Structure 1
Amino acid sequence: MGDQCAALRRFRLRAGLTQEALAERSGVSVRTIRGLETGNRRNPQRSSLRQLADALELPDGDRAELMSAEQASAKVVPRQLPPPPRRFTGRHRELAELTDAVRAADGDAVAVSAVGGAGGIGKTWLALHWAHRHADDFPDGQLYANLRGFDVSSSPVRPEVVLRAFLEALGVPSASLPLEAGALHGLFRSLTEGRRLLVVLDNARDTEQVVPLLPGRSASAVLVTSRNRLTGLVATHGATAVELDVLNRDDARQLLVGHVGRHRADGEPGSVAELLDHCSGLPLALGIVAARVTGHPGFPLHALAEELRNTAARLDGFDAGEFTANLRAVFSASYSALDAGAARLFGLLGLLPSPDVGVPVVASLAARPVPAARRLLRALEHAHLVHQPQPGRYRMHDLTALYAAERARAVLPAHDRAAALERLVDHYVHTTIAADRMLRDRPAVLELGAPGPGCVPEVPRDIGAAMTWLATEHDILLEIQALAAAQGWHARVWRLAQGLGIFHWRRGMFEENLVSSQRALAAAEALNEPEAIAITARNLGYDHLKLGRHAEAAGYLERARLINEEHGFTEALAHTYGVLTHLAERGNDHRTAVGYALKSARLFRSLGKPDDEANALNAMGWHQVMLGEFDTARELCTRALGMLGEGRGRGKEVCAVLHSLGYIAKKTGQYAEALWHLRRSIPLYEEIGDEFAEANAWEDIAEVHAAMGNTREAEHAWRTALTMFESQNRIADAHRVSARLSPLVHSIV
C-alpha cells in the first residue's frame, strides 16, 4: 500500500493541489484522501480511485499505478521460479560471482547479472540453482520469464507481454493494465520500487528485450541468461557478466555418474571415460547421454560409446527424442540467429582440422581482409559459437565444430569448400616457408608457387616471431600436412616438411620431424622429383640418427648421397656429407667424420658459400678435438669464426663455433677462456631459439665451473641444463646431469 500512498501524494503535489482542493475537485472526502496518503485507509473503492485519477488528469501509466492501490494493499508475493535442477554440479566460481554481484549492490540499486554461454552450456541451470539457494533473500517474491530469444519455433517474447504477466503476478488485475507499452514500463518500475524481488529472465535475445523488464529503484536482483553477449546491459546498466565454459573433467564425471548410477558407472569405467570424451564437458550433451542411458537400463554403456565414436554421425547420437534434448537443434537455434556473413564463416570454420585458429588464418580461409574477418569472428563470439581464449586466437567447442562441418556440407557449394580448404593449406604452408627462411637466414632450397587468390600468408618480422608462430601453430601444421597429403597436394606436403625441419631440430622434436619427413618423402616420390626425394631422405636420415637408429639413418643418407651425385645436386650433396659426419661420430669414427666434413667444406667453397664452409670447418675442428688434436681443432674453429665474422654470419653457425672453441678451452684446462666463449654462445642460442644446443652449452658451462671449484655457479648451470633436457624429453641427458647435481647439492648443504 505504501507505494500507492506515495503515488497519490506525489500526483497531488505535482498538480499543485491541497488535500482539500483535491477533495473539492474530485468529490472524494478529505478524510478518504488523507487515509489513502497515510496508508490508514485500506481497500479503497475503485470508484473513488477513478474519481481521483480524473480530477488529477493522470496519463494512462500514472492512472494504472493509482488504480492498483486496492490490489497492491494485499501485497501479493509471487513465486514463479521453475523447479531447481536436480543434479546440479560444480560451477562454484560462477555461483560466487553471482552472489558477489548482489552483495556489491548493497541494497542501493538493482543488481543485474548477465549469464552468458553457448547453447547447452548450463546457463538456465546455473541461474535457477542460484535463485533457489537465495530465494529467502528476496521476501517480496521471485519473478521468472522465458524470453524465448532463440526458439526456432517462435519469435522472441515482446517485453510488453512479459510485463503484463509480471504485473498480474504482483496483484494488478488485467483489466487495470494500461495498453501503452511505456505505461506498462512505468507501472512496473513504480510497483517494484523499494521492494526486494528476484527476477530471472531466461534465454534473452539482446539487451533491448531486457531493459524494459528491469525493476525500479530497489534492492532487487535480476539474473539474465543469453546465448549472446549482452554487452549493452553491461555498458549501460552496470551488469556483471558471468561467462560459462564447459565443465571440467571431474564435474562432468560427477554429473554423468549422478544420472547413470555409481554401480553402473563403476562396472564400465572405460566406457564412462569414452562418453566423457565425446561430450567434451558440455552439460547438455552429458544430460542427453544420461537420458539415453537411463532410458535403457539393461543396455551396456559401451554400446552408446561405440555409437558416438563415429565422428561423422556423432551429433545423431546426441538426440534424446525431444527438441530441448537434441544437441543439433540447440546449435541450430544459435546458427539461425546469425547474419549471412557470420553464418558463412561459421560453416568455413567447420573445415578446420583443429578448432583453435588465429585471425590471419581465418582471413585467408574466408578470403576476407583481416579487419572483416575479425568483425565476423566477434559476431560468432557474441553468439558464443566461438570463444577467444587469448587475444587474436579463437576456439570452437568440439561438438560445435561438428555442427559447423555439417553446415558447411549442407550450405556451401563443393567448389567453395574446396577453394577455402586450398587457401587454408596455402596460408599455413607459405607462412611456414616464410618462417623457415627467417630461421635459415637464406632463401628456401625450392620455392613453391604463389598462394591461391584470397590467401594472404603471414610474414614473421624476425627470428623470435618465426619461432613463436611455429610453436603456436605446430600441432595444426602437422594436421594440415596430413590434410594436404589426403588431398594429393604433394608439393605442399614436402615443402611444409622442409619448412618445419629447422624448428623441429632446434626444439629437439625429432619424433615429430620423423613423421613429417616420412609424409614428405612419400609426396616427393609421388611427384618423382629427384631433388625433393634427396632432401627428404637426408632429413629422414638425420631424424633417425638423432633417435639412435643408426642403421636406418645410414640407409636414407646413402640414398640421398647417390641421388645428389647422379643428378649433380652439389649443394644438397654438401649438406648430406654434413649429416654423414654426425653418423660417423655416433660410431666413434672421428677420422671418417673429418673426411666427410672436409668434402662438405670443399663443395661449399666451390659454390661460394663461406658461411656453410665455415660450418663444415667447425665440424672438422670438433672431430679433431675428439681425436685429441687440440691445436689443429683450435686452428680450424678460429678460422671458421673469422670467416663468419668477415660477412654477416648466421647465428646458428656462430653459436656452434663459439661452443666448439669453449669446449676446446675446457678440454685443455683454459677455463676462463672456455667460459668466455660458452657464455657468448648462450644469448645467441636464445636469439635463434635453438634450445637443443643451448642445453648442451649450459652443461659445458657447469662442468667448467665445477672444474674451477665454483660450486654454486656449477649448480645453477646444471639445473638450467636439467630443466631444458627434461622439457625436450632427453631422458638420458637429464639422468646424467641429475647424477652430477646430487653430490654437488649435498656438498653445498
Structure 2
Amino acid sequence: MRLLGPVELWAGERQLPIGEPRQRAVLAALACEAGRVVTAETLIDRVWGETAPARARHALQSHLTRVRGALRRGGGDPLIRRSGGYLLDLPADRVDLLRFRALAEGADGNVDRLREAVGLWRGEPLAGLAGEWAASMRAVWDSERLLAVVAWAEVEDPAALIGPLGAIVQEQPLVEPVAVALMRALHAIGRTADALGQYDALRRRLAEDLGTDPAPATQAAYATILTSNQAAATGPLEPVPAQLPADVAGFAGRADALAQLDKVPSLAVIAGPAGVGKTALAIHWAHRAAARFPDGRLYVDLRGFGPGGTAMDPGEAVRGFLGALGVPARRIPAETGAQSALLRSRLANRRLVLVIDNARDSDQVRPLLPGAGSCMVLVTSRNQLTGLVAADGAQPLRLDVLSHGEAQELLERRLGADRIAADPVAGDAIIGLCARLPLALTLAAAHAVMQPELGLAELADGLAGWSTPAGDTPDTDLRAVFSWSYEALTPAAARLFRQLGVHPGPDFSAAAAGALSGSAEDLAELVRSSLLTQHAPGRYLFHDLMRAYAEGLGAGPAAADRLLDHYLGTAFAGAMLLAPTRAAPLLPIEAAAGEPLADQDAAMRWFAVERAVLLALAARSGGDRPWQLAWALDTFLYRQGPWHDLVTVWEAALSTVDDGPARAYAYARLARACTLLDRAAEADRHYRLALDHYDRAGDRDGQSGVHHEMAILHERQGDLRAALAHAEQALELSDHGSANTLNTIGFYRAQLGDFAGALELCERALALYEQSGDADNRAAVWDSLGFIRHGLGEYDAAVDCYRTALGLYREIGDRYWVADTLVHLGDTHRACGRDAQAAAVWREALGIYEELGHANAAEVRSRLS
C-alpha cells in the first residue's frame, strides 16, 4: 500500500485498480492507521469533511465494499469489521508511510535505514486526493519527511546527497534545514562557491517571499562554511564564534548612523522605539565591519522587552558566550561574578564584535561587557541605558524613523524600483501611512509581495482603512499594520493567533499550537501572512512586538490553561519515561496527555527542545504549577548538566508552595542542585531547612533522603568519614532499608579500605534492586561492586561487574555514567596488564567527556599519555 505519492495498491509486482477518488480516500484513511480500528465517523470526516452528504454512511458502505473487492484481488481479505468501525489488517511494513516511520524513528543515525526511509517518497503524499484531511496529512507527513531528510544528510556520503537534496530544495525552496544540508554537502565535496550561492539564493527568496531573514541556525552554518578554510589553514587554538544573524535583506539608508558607529571605539548603545530598526542597524554594521574582528562575532537576544517573565538572566547570556568561546559547561563557575570575570579573561587581547540585542536595562548588559578595549560592543534597547553611558563610557545613538528618501529606498528594494516608479503617489501614501517605520514598511511590502496582482494604490487604500487608525506615533501605526494583517486572516487562524499570545516563547511547536485547537493549515496561514516565522521544521516563533500584539488581543484564561496542561502533561509523561520507578509527585499532576513520547530518547529530545519554554512557564505560572514543573524537569536537568536551571526552577517552586512535605522536597532538590554546582554552603543551608520541615512533619523517610544527599555533599568535599556518617544515619531513619543508601555506604566503606564489609552491603542493595527492576540504580550498584572486586584483587570479576553496569547505563542513555564506568574499567584492565584494552576504553570515555564538555576529560588524557 503506497501513500507517499499517488495512492496505489500493489500485490507483489502487480498494481491493482482501486477505483475513483472517494474509494482511494477511504483506502488511504484506513491504510495510514493499519492495524487500528477507524470509526465510521472518522472515515466520513476524512473522506468528505464538512461536505458529507445526508446519506454519508450509506455511501461509505458502498465505497468500503468496492475497497474490499480491490483488496481481495491481491489475495486475502484484510478489511475487518469491528465494533465501532473498520480495521485494515496489514503489517506495518506493507504500508509505505508506516514503514517510513518505523525506519526513521528507529534509525538512530543508521544511514541504511534513513536512506531507505527517504527513498520511499515518490512525490506529493496522497496525490490526487482533495479535501481538508488530505491537505493536513500532506503537511504533517511532509514535516516528518524533512526531519528524516535532515537526519539522513548528517550521516550519508555528501556526494550522494547533492541530487536528492537539490530536488527537495527546488520543490520547497523556503525550507531552511534542507537548504543548510545541501550547503554542507556541497562544501564537503569541495563546491564551496556553490554552497555559498545556495545561501544567497535562499536569503533572496526569504526576503522576497516572506520579508524575513534566514534563521540563526542557517546563518551559523553559512558563517561556518565561510570561515572553515581560514580555520583549517591557521589551526586556531580557540574557536572563532560566528553567531551573528545574517545581514538584513533590503537594508536601506542609515548612512549617518553607520558613520557614527564607525567612529565608536568600543561600546555603543543604539536606542529607539519599537520597530525602528535598531537590530537591523547593529547587525548590518557588524557584518560590514567584520574584517576588523577576525576572532569572531557573538550575538545574544536578551529578550528585555518580551512577554512578562521571559527576559534573559544575564548569567544565562554569559554562559552562552563562554560556551561559544570554547569553555565546557562544567568549567563555568557557579557565581555570576566569577562567570563575568572568566568571560573578560576569554575576551582579553582578542578582537571580537558583540551584538547585545533587546536589552532591558544597564544591569542586564554589564556582566557581558569585555574588560579590554580590543572588542566592539553594540547594545540595542528601547531604553536609553544612561547607566552604560554615564558609568561605562558608552556612545549613545538615538535612532528615529527613516527619512522619506530612506523609506522609499526600502520599498524599492523590497518591491522593485519599477513598481514604485509606476505609481509614486501611492508609494508616498504608503510611506506616510506607515509613519516611515521600518518594521511597518517591511510588513506592508511583504503583503504586496505575497499579492503581486495588488496595485500600490489598492495597498494604500487598504492601509488607509485600518480598523486601528494611524496616529501620530510609530507604536500606533505599528499596531495598525498588525491589525490589518490580523483582520485578513480566516476566523480559525485569527483565533489561533490570539491564543498563541499566551505562549511565553521563545518558540513553540505545531503540537503546542494543536493544544490550542490550531490546525496545520492555520499555522501555514499565519506564516504566509508574516505573522509567524517557521524557523525549523515544526517550530514557530513571533517577533516580540507581534507577540505583544497577539497577547493584547486577549485569548482568555482558558487558552493559557490548555497550553500549560499540554506542556505539563507531556513533561510529566517524559519524566516518568526517564525514571519509571520514581515516586509519584507529592502534588499530583492532573493535566492533559500532551504530546506522545515513545521512549526515553524521545523524552530527552522533547525536553531539550522545550527546555526554555518550560523554564518560562515555571517562572510565570502560579499555584502548584511551578513545583510540578520543577518536579517534571528535575531528572532531565540533572542528567544533562544545566544545573543553574535546576536552581532556578526549585527556587520558583519554593516561592509558591507552602505545603510542608512539598516545601521540604523543594528545599532538598534545591540543595542537590547547589551541591552539583559546588555551592556547598548554600547546599548545606537548604538541606538543613529540608530536615527541619521533615522533622516537624515526622517524616523519617524524608529525613533519610536528605541525609543521603548530605553524604554526597561531604563526599564531594573530600570528607569521606562525614559522608559515611550521614549515609549511616540515612539508613537508620529509613523504615524500609534503602537499597540506594546501602550501596552508598558500601561504596564509602570500600573507598576507606573495608572491602569485605562493602561487598556485603552492596550485594544486599543489588538483591533489593533486582526485585524492583530499577536499571539506573542497579547500574550504580554494579559499578560499586566492580570497584570492590578490583580492591579485592579479583580483576576478572571486576571487569564483569563494570560491563554489566555499562550495559544498564547505556540502556537508560546516561552518557556521563557510561564514561565514568569506562574509566573504572580501564583502571582494572591496566591493573592486570591489559594495557591495550585499557587504552581503548579510556579513549571511548574521553570522547564522551569531550562531547559533554566535562572537566574529567583532562584526567582521562593523563591516563592515556
Are residue 584 (structure 1) and residue 714 (structure 2) matched?
Answer: yes
Alpha-carbon separation, structure 2, partners of 1:317 and 1:328 = 14
Preserved contact between residue 464 and residue 687 of structure 1 (Cα < 8 Å): no
CA positional deviation for 1:388: 4.0
1:502 CA drift (Å): 1.8
Distance between the aligned counterparts of 1:713 and 1:507, measured in 2? Answer: 29
Are the structure 2 counterparts of residues 722 and 117 from structure 1 closer, same or farther at C-alpha, using a change threshold of 3 Å?
Answer: closer
What's 1:429 paired with?
568
Q: Structure 2 CA distance, aligned partners of 1:720 and 1:423?
A: 45
1:257-276 aligned within 5 A: 259-260=254-255, 263-268=259-264, 270-271=267-268
User: Which of 587, 596, 603 is matched with 1:466 structurally?
Assistant: 603
2:504 match: 353
Q: Structure 1 residues 418 and 735 mapped into 2: Cα distance closer, same or farther (>3 Å)? A: same
1:492 pairs with 2:625 = yes
Kindly indicate whether residue 548 of structure 2 is the aligned counterpart of residue 405 of structure 1: yes
8 Å CA contact 2:651, 2:670 repeated in 1: yes
CA-CA distance at 1:636 after TM superposition: 1.3
- The question of whether the paired residues in 2 share the 8 Å contact of 1:328 and 1:403 is answered with no
Q: 1:328 aligns with which of 440, 447, 463?
A: 440
Give the unaligned 5+ runs of structure 1.
1-99, 106-111, 119-202, 205-222, 229-241, 291-300, 311-315, 744-749
1:396 aligns with 2:541: yes
**Residues 121-160 of structure 1 mapped to structure 2, 5 A cutoff:** none
Equivalent residues in 2 for 1:323-722, closer than 5 Å: 323=433, 325-326=436-437, 327-328=439-440, 330=443, 332=482, 334-364=485-515, 366=516, 368=517, 372-391=518-537, 393-397=538-542, 399=543, 401-409=544-552, 411-412=553-554, 416-441=555-580, 442-448=582-588, 450-451=590-591, 456-458=593-595, 460-484=597-621, 489-524=622-657, 528-604=658-734, 606-607=735-736, 613-645=738-770, 647-722=771-846
Partner of 1:738: 861
**Residue 578 and residue 403 in structure 1: after superposition, are their counterparts in 2 closer, same or farther (change >3 A)?**
same
**How many Å separate the matches in 2 of 1:460 and 1:250?**
33
- SS of the equivalent of 1:687 reads helix
**What's the secondary structure of 1:450's corresponding residue?**
coil
Answer whether contact 2:711 2:727 (CA < 8 A) is retained.
yes
Distance 1:663 1:531 in 2: 36
The offset of 1:474, in angstroms, is: 1.3
One-letter amino acid of the counterpart of residue 861, structure 2: S
What displacement does 1:251 show?
4.7
Alpha-carbon deviation of 1:704?
2.5
Higher CA-based Rg: 1
CA contact (8 A) 1:265 1:272 kept: no
Question: For 1:284 and 1:551, how far apart are their aligned partners in 2?
Answer: 43
In the alignment of these two chains, the number of paired residues is 475
In structure 2, C-alpha distance between the alignment counterparts of 1:302 and 1:552, rounded to whole Å? 35
Paired letter, 2:817? A
Tell me, yes or no, if the aligned pair for 2:746 and 2:761 is still in contact at 8 Å: yes
- Whichever residue aligns with residue 417 of structure 1, its letter is G
**Aligned partners of 2:778, 2:613: CA distance in 1, in Å?**
32
Q: Can you list the C-alpha shifts for 1:222-257, whole angstroms capped at 9, x where unaligned?
A: x995449xxxxxxxxxxxxx9966894375289869
Write the distance in 2 (CA, Å) between the matches of 1:458 and 1:117.
Answer: 24
Amino acid at match of 1:465: A
- Partners of 1:715 and 1:568 lie apart in 2 by 51
Query: Which one-letter code corresponds to 2:645 in the other structure?
Result: E
SS at match of 1:685: helix
**Per-residue deviation at 1:279?**
5.7
The amino acid of 2:803's aligned partner reads R
Distance in 2 between the 1:697 and 1:644 partners? 19
SS in 1 for 2:624: helix
Read off the aligned partner of 2:763 and give its amino acid letter. Answer: T
Distance 1:115 1:710, change over 3 A: closer
1:167-222 CA distances to partner (integer Å, 9 max, x unpaired)?
xxxxxxxxxxxxxxxxxxxxxxxxxxxxxxxxxxxx99xxxxxxxxxxxxxxxxxx
User: Quick one: distance in 1 between partners of 2:506 and 2:698?
Assistant: 45
Instruction: Give, in angstroms, the shift of residue 579 of structure 1.
Output: 0.5
| Residue aligning to 2:101 | none
Bigger mean CA deviation after superposition, 269-278 or 534-543: 269-278
Is 1:463–1:687's contact at 8 Å kept on the other side of the alignment?
no
Correspondence 1:187-206 to 2 at 5 A: none
- 2:382 counterpart of 1:307: yes
How far apart in 2 are the matches of 1:114 and 1:547?
A: 46
Amino acid at match of 1:406: Y
CA distance in 2, matches of 1:113, 1:549: 54
Mapped to 2, the partners of 1:544 and 1:340 lie a distance apart of 49
* Distance in 1 of aligned mates of 2:764 and 2:745: 11
**Would the alpha carbon gap of residues 425 and 624 (structure 1) be closer, same or farther in structure 2, given more than 3 Å must change?**
same
SS in 2 for 1:252: coil
Deviations 1:91-119 (A, max 9, x none): xxxxxxxxx99xx99xxxxxx9998699x
Change (3 A) 1:117 1:547: closer
Instruction: Describe the shift of the 1:250–1:494 C-alpha distance in structure 2 as closer, same or farther (beyond 3 A).
Output: closer
TM-score (ref. length: structure 1): 0.55
- 1:300-350, Cα deviation, whole Å (9 max, x unpaired): x9999443789xxxxx97776725653236264544432121122223323
Q: Is the 8 A contact 1:620 1:633 kept in 2?
A: yes
Question: CA 1:483/1:671 → structure 2, altered by over 3 Å: closer, same or farther?
Answer: same
| 8 A contact 1:538–1:576 mirrored in 2 | yes
2:248 touches 2:283 (CA, 8 Å); kept in 1?
Answer: no
Contact 1:117–1:244 (8 Å) recurs in 2:
no
Instruction: Give 1:395 shift.
Output: 1.8
Q: CA deviation at 1:564?
A: 0.8
> Displacement, 1:356?
2.0
3-state DSSP of counterpart to 2:247: helix
Percent identity of equivalent pairs: 26
Structure 1 residue 390 displacement after superposition: 4.4
Inter-partner Cα distance in structure 2 for 1:474 and 1:622: 34
What is the CA-CA distance between 1:465 and the residue it aligns to? 2.6
**CA distance, structure 2, for counterparts of residue 588 and residue 384 of structure 1:** 58
- Over the aligned positions, Cα root-mean-square deviation in angstroms equals 4.4
Taking a change above 3 Å as real, the CA distance of residues 244 and 475 of structure 1, as seen in their structure-2 partners, is: closer
Asked if structure 2 preserves the Cα contact closer than 8 Å seen for 1:659 and 1:681, the reply is yes
Once the two structures are superposed, what CA deviation does each residue of 1:504-533 show, in whole Å capped at 9, x if it has no partner?
A: 222233222122222222222xxx211122
Greater Cα shift, 579-588 or 278-287: 278-287
Question: What TM-score does the superposition give when structure 2 sets the normalisation length?
Answer: 0.49
For the structure 1 residues 710 and 423, does the alpha-carbon distance in structure 2 shift closer, same or farther, using more than 3 Å as the test?
same
Deviation at 1:570, TM superposition (A): 2.8
Checking the alignment, whether the CA contact within 8 Å between 2:740 and 2:765 is kept in structure 1 is yes
Provide the rounded CA distance (Å) in 1 between the counterparts of 2:687 and 2:282.
55
CA–CA distance in structure 2, aligned partners of residues 504 and 303 of structure 1: 33
Partner amino acid, structure 2, of 1:513:
L
